[in-house]
Structure 1
Amino acid sequence: MIDKLEMFIALARESHFGRAAESLGITQPSLSAGIKQLESQLGVQLVWRGSRYGGLTPEGARVLEWARSIVGDVRTMKDEMRAVREGLSGNVRLAAVPTALTMVAELTSAFAKEHPGVRFTILSRTSAEILTMLENLEIDGGVTYLDNEPLGKVTSVPMYRERYSVVCNANSPMAERASVGWHELAGAPLCLLTQDMQNRRIINQNLAEAGVVPQPTIESNSTVVLVAHVETGDWITILPHRLAGFLSAGKTLVRVPLDEPRKGHTLGMIAAARDPQTPVMTAILQMARKIGEREAD
């Protein structure tokens, strides 16, 4: 039945028979047959059908919760037995908000030194996408904001507090400053992340508290795009202090700390709320905890 439950999870995730089948590497008729067999085994209709996928029935929505739990537990069991045989190994799928990608590299590099048999696939996603992917078993863990918007049922480990800086061209009037106040950004030629990014919502909140209405002329979901525009000398951007340092290194750019309001947010590792965790995720959460303790010192 496990393979049928995985088919059902994929269908619920994709909301389309063709895309779900493609994601599983099977044909659409095989997927349809598997869903019908699952319905027959359970004795309930799981999916509304017409000329196309019509969503889950109430029974289907409940079965989806069970399916995610059962498939997650089976994967955990397999991973635990593999760890017994081979030590920590396999591929770990992580997703991180763009502003945390440098911290992810720090975590995975340290982990790989201790456990060379583990491989990583790392994706850049919004905080909302990370939660959805975790729920749908598409990733094993994520690095995201912990204290700004609801996370739901997850295991979380704080890693660091985010501070913010202005990034400007070396010729900008702000480049010589020791710090800049948020209120001084009124009317500045801003380029910022898009509104679907939680970091942008935090920046909007900080600007609003300083009496500034952000009116960026450039928006992008890529921090590389933002920094490329700043490098032309026509714009400034606001980025987390750590990421700003990484992206401005070796360029004619200057990172200037923002000094008010002094509101930062905590980022950390999250995983599905499961007991036990897989051996690999247990070790990764422990590594995240070590980083959090070091950052707090």
Structure 2
Amino acid sequence: MLLRQLEYLVALARERHFARAAEACHVSQPALSEGLRKLEDELKVLLVRRGRAYEGLTPEGERIVRRAQRLLADRDALREEATALRTGLSGTLRIGSVPTASGAVSLLTDPFCAAHPLASVQLRTDLRAEEVLRRVRDFEIDAGITYTPDSTEGVRTHPLYEERYVLLTGASEEPAAHPNVTRPNATRPNATWAEAAELPLCLLEPGMQGRRTLDEVFTGLGLAPRPRVETDSVASLFAHVRTGRWASVVPYAWLHVFGVPPGMRALPLVGPVHGAPIVLVLADRRPGPVMARALLEVARRTDAATVLERLP
């Protein structure tokens, strides 16, 4: 009963809404509210601020929910371990990824599924870098693929590859959308960041880590591109370049998914060559859930950097 009540608390903290938390727990809202009251009575501490609507957890509730998340994660890990001992690894591996790295996720999930035919994979590839870390720390996902975090509190990381960048343009040497701006010559093997900054750009949204990384490079070189189109989708960047009016800066790893589509060119960006480390992020638990351990073992056997280096 205590674990069930803790599930209610964790769901409420995640959903921040009584009705949605009840739906997530497959109970009625009155049943969820009653379970939370019984938990407060048992622990002899107020956990939830109540008003006409959910008003948040008390400071005590915030501390208890963190312990509850770990306790429930350990329970689930124990069940997965027991199942793996009986029948082999099964269940669902949950992975979250930043959009810029999502094109390389299959380098891990394909060998994982081949090695564990009873297991399945659930992917979220539209998460911000901060959200990937939060979900790993809160045990909402088993692993994340993201940029090297500034803080590794509560997580551990395994390097995957270095994200490099290409200027994606139309294949034509005709003038770009802006007057007096021409695209890099077709015989050139690369392009400079300064040339990229002068083109009519379509880039990721400013709040995304992939865009912040690009902005840091441009700013460090004294450049100030003014993209007219911003999106949260790497696929949308390719679609805009396909029209012939736009250029974009995209991660080299996305050529693993699309190649270089007809009518486009992908020129490595130099002056300087810039790279951003991409890592696998796991909760800092030892030995850790069996699913996460299995994925880490795949990552250790898979040289993602070498695979991506072979791209045209």
TM-score by length of 2: 0.90
- CA deviation profile, 1:106-144 (whole Å, cap 9, x unmatched): 111011111111100111111111122223322111111
8 Å Cα contact 2:159-2:280 kept in structure 1: yes
Task: Judge conservation of contact 1:192–1:216 (CA < 8 Å) in 2.
Answer: yes
Q: Which residue of 2 aligns with 1:59?
A: 60
Match of 2:130 in 1: 128
The match for 1:22 is: 23
Please say if residues 248 and 255 of structure 1, whose CA atoms lie closer than 8 Å, have aligned partners that are also in contact.
no
Q: Does residue 1:252 correspond to 2:254, yes or no?
A: no
Q: Deviations over 1:140-160 (max 9, x none)?
A: 11111115x334321211110
One-letter code of the match for 1:62? Answer: R
Name the counterpart of 2:144: 142
Is 1:42 the counterpart of 2:43 in the alignment? yes
1:88: Cα distance to partner? Answer: 0.9
Q: Does 1:165 align with 2:175?
A: no
Q: Which amino acid aligns with 1:45?
A: L
- Of 162, 184, 188, the match for 1:174: 184
Deviations 1:234-272 (A, max 9, x none): 110001112145335443211100012233111121111
Aligned residues: 296
Give the TM-score taking structure 1 as reference length: 0.94
Alpha-carbon contact 1:21-1:27 (below 8 Å) kept: yes
**DSSP 3-state at the match of 2:20:** helix
Report the 3-state secondary structure (helix = DSSP H, G, I; strand = E; otherwise coil) of the residue aligned with 1:121: strand
Aligned to 1:289: 300
Which residue identity does 1:169 align to in structure 2?
G
> Which of 201, 204, 217 is matched with 2:212 structurally?
201
| Cα distance, 1:64 vs structure 2 | 1.2
| Rounded Cα–Cα distance in structure 1 between residues aligned with 2:63 and 2:104 | 37
Change over 3 Å in CA distance of 1:174–1:181 after alignment to 2 = same
After superposition, the CA RMSD in angstroms is 1.8
Q: CA shift at 1:295, angstroms? A: 3.5
**1:188 offset after TM fit, Å?**
1.5
Tell me the distance in 2 between the aligned counterparts of 1:164 and 1:43.
Answer: 55
Stretches of structure 2 that go unaligned for 5 or more consecutive residues are 174-182
Percent sequence identity over matched residues? 36
User: Secondary structure at 1:251's aligned position in 2?
Assistant: coil
CA contact (8 A) 2:70 2:139 kept: no
CA distance in 1, matches of 2:185, 2:244: 11
Q: CA separation in 2, counterparts of 1:293 and 1:227?
A: 23
Between the aligned partners of 2:137 and 2:262, the Cα distance in structure 1 is 40
With over 3 angstroms needed to count, the CA separation of the structure-2 counterparts of 1:293 and 1:95, relative to structure 1, is: closer
- Asked if 2 retains the 8 angstrom alpha-carbon contact of 1:194 and 1:219, the reply is yes
Which residue is equivalent to 2:117? 116
Aligned partners of 1:167 and 1:244 also within 8 Å: no
Pairing of 1:225-244 with structure 2 (within 5 A): 225-244=236-255
